Amino acid sequence: MNPVFTSKDLGQGVLLSEVEDLGAHEQKILYEEAIEAINSIDASIREINGLEKRSGISTDADWLHRAKKKRRICLEFAAKLNTILNGADLPKISYEEAYKKHFHQILLEELGPDLERIESEAANLARADVGRH
C-alpha cells in the first residue's frame, strides 16, 4: 500500500513513493505540513484523552484508530522528507523488514503497555520451550 498525503498547501495528493519526484520547495512545504498535521493530531488525541478522564465517557475507538493511522502516515511522510531534505540516501530495506517494523509500530500504538506485557510473556514461554529441549 502506497500512502497518500493530501496536501492543502500544494493543492494535491502526493503518494509516498512520489515525494522524491517533487522539487525541493514542494518537499519542504510538504514536510512542514506533515509536521503540523502530526502536532495537530497529537493535540486532538491529548484533548480527547483528557476529556475521557474528566467525563468518564470513553473515547470512540474507531475515531482513535483513524487518528493514529493518519498520524502514522504523516510520520512516514515527515521521516522520508526529512531524510531527503537533509541530503541523506534513503535506506534500502526489504519488504519483510519494513512489514515487521510497521507491524510492531501499529501494535505498540494500538496496545500500548499491553504489548510489552505480551512480548515479555512470549519471551518467557520461548525461553521455557528452549530450556525443555
Contacts for 93 with CB less than 8 Å, ≥ 6 apart: 101
Longest dimension (CA), the chain: 61
Q: Band the pLDDT of 47: cuts 50, 70, 90.
A: very high
Which pTM was predicted?
Answer: 0.68
Whether the per-residue pLDDT at 35 is higher than 80: the answer is yes
Nearest Cα neighbor of 1 from 12, 14, 18, 16 is 16
In tens, the pLDDT along 72-131 reads: 999 999 999 999 998 876 666 666 777 777 787 788 778 877 877 888 888 888 888 887
- Cβ pair 35, 28 in contact under 8 A: no
